[in-house]
Amino acid sequence: MSELGGKRVLVVGAAGFLGANVVRTLLPLAAEVHALVRPAGSRVRLDGLPDLVVHEADVLDRDAVAGAVRAARADLAVNLVAPSGHPATWPERQHMLAVNCEGTCNLIDALAGSDCTRLVHVGSSLEYGSKSQPIREDEVLAPTTFRGAAKGAATLLCLQAAAPPVVVVRPFSVFGPWEPRRRLVPSVICAALEREELRLTAPGYRRDFVYVDDFAEAVLLALEAGPDLDGEIVNVGSGRQTANEEVVAEVERLVGRELAVRPGAYPAQPPDTGFWVADVSKAERTLGWTPRHSLADGLAATIEWFATAGTEVAHAAV
């Protein structure tokens, strides 16, 4: 039985793609799971989950966060709070910075006065910026996107806090059930299932894809880890990079049909690069973690989920 059985675990940002999958991984372990969600946010990913305790609070409301933390009385916590996407305007950038930094500070301060013994902060590989070799956790941060800079600032705020003890996990390109439709893997799968044309970026962009169940498992292992991991950063990726067009080819193989693809019709996005891959040796050494799903296995499971749940779910899960 997992060591998390019977523990009270607070998941902040629980209604998002990553947060909901962490919640769904925790519940079967007999953990008492508390979800902190925005009052007006979509909860479609959490609908119908039994035994989930939901707390409403805007992370920018210091008093509301403190009240939710008191109500949850969590032994452990996971911080996944961050707006989605890449901000293009000053109000969007201001909101991104406020949620990541002020929101994270509000959470840290509230947890510092509680009995919480471990915070797992979910950062991002975008904190590193472009590199030309597999990325290690001791790399100098040089983010090339505003999102990466905001996530990096939130990580530094967590690491400087005296309490509770923090472990940072930095996921690379996570994919799987409940991922928003606008992102690459759901776009490819939905185009295949709906027999629609797929607008794709120009050839050459690569990512390190990791299946969401493997990501969630790494988060749980970080929650359970001993004090030797306090203050450490751990990459969560596959250790392999894959071109966008290779993802398309694999989905075509799995569904048994060719897609109508227009390469170059979709503009490159702020984080797109020709080299992006994690060094995951630290995760294996400190957590005993390696991804259990290959890209093909993860894509097959994701295709099955979209085919069963219906692609309209992907439109609802923003």
- pLDDT of 225-259, one tens digit each? 999 999 999 999 999 999 999 999 999 999 999 99
Confidence check: pLDDT of 1 > 50: no
Residue 309 is predicted with a pLDDT of 85
Confidence (pLDDT) at 178: 96
Tell me which residue range forms the domain holding 16: 8-177+209-239+277-292
Out of 38-42, 73-77, 132-136, 188-192, pick the least confident: 38-42
Instruction: Give CA–CA dist 214/220, Å, rounded.
Output: 10
Ramachandran region, residue 6 (left: φ > 0; alpha: ψ -120 to 50; beta: rest)? left
Tell me if 111 is assigned to some domain: yes
User: Does 202 map to a domain?
Assistant: no
Please check the confidence at residue 316 and state whether its pLDDT lies above 70: no
Q: Centre a 10 Å sphere on the Cβ of residue 91 and count the other Cβ atoms it contains.
A: 9
Domain assignment of residue 247, yes or no: no
The pLDDT, as a whole number, for residue 27 is: 96
How far is residue 253's CA from residue 74's CA, in Å, rounded to a whole number?
A: 45
**Of 78-82, 216-220, 311-315, where does mean pLDDT reach its minimum?**
311-315
Q: Which residue has the tokens 């359970």?
A: 224
- Which position has the token pair 């996005």? 269
Region 168-177: mean pLDDT is: 98
Mean pLDDT, rounded, for 180-185: 93
In a domain, 26, yes or no: yes
What residue type is assigned to position 30 of the chain?
Answer: A
Choose among 92, 95, 101: nearest CA to 151.
101
This prediction has a pTM of 0.95
Which H or E run includes 298? helix 295-309
CATH number reported for the structural domain that contains residue 21 in this entry? 3.40.50.720
Q: What is the mean pLDDT of residues 159-180?
A: 95
Q: Is the peptide bond before 28 cis (omega within 30 degrees of 0)?
A: no
What total of structural domains would you count in the chain?
Answer: 1
**For residue 245, is it within any domain?**
no
252-304 pLDDT, tens digit each: 999 999 999 999 999 998 888 999 999 999 999 999 999 999 999 999 999 99
Pair 293, 214: CB distance under 8 Å: yes
Mean confidence (pLDDT) of the chain: 95
**What pLDDT is attached to residue 162?**
74
pLDDT at 173 > cutoff 90: yes
Structure tokens at 262: 């227009």
pLDDT at residue 204 greater than cutoff 60? yes
- For 97-128, what is each residue's pLDDT tens digit? 999 999 999 999 999 989 999 999 999 999 99
In a domain, 184, yes or no: no
Mean local confidence (pLDDT), 304-309: 93
Residue 308 located in a structural domain:
no
Residue 274 has which token pair? Answer: 């020709």
% of the chain with per-residue pLDDT over 70 = 97
| Model confidence at 317: pLDDT above 80 | no
Q: Quick check: is 89 in a domain?
A: yes
Q: How many H helices and E strands in the chain?
A: 11, 13
Indicate the pLDDT class of residue 312, thresholds 50, 70 and 90. low
- Predicted confidence at residue 244, as pLDDT, reads 96
pLDDT at 38 > cutoff 50: yes
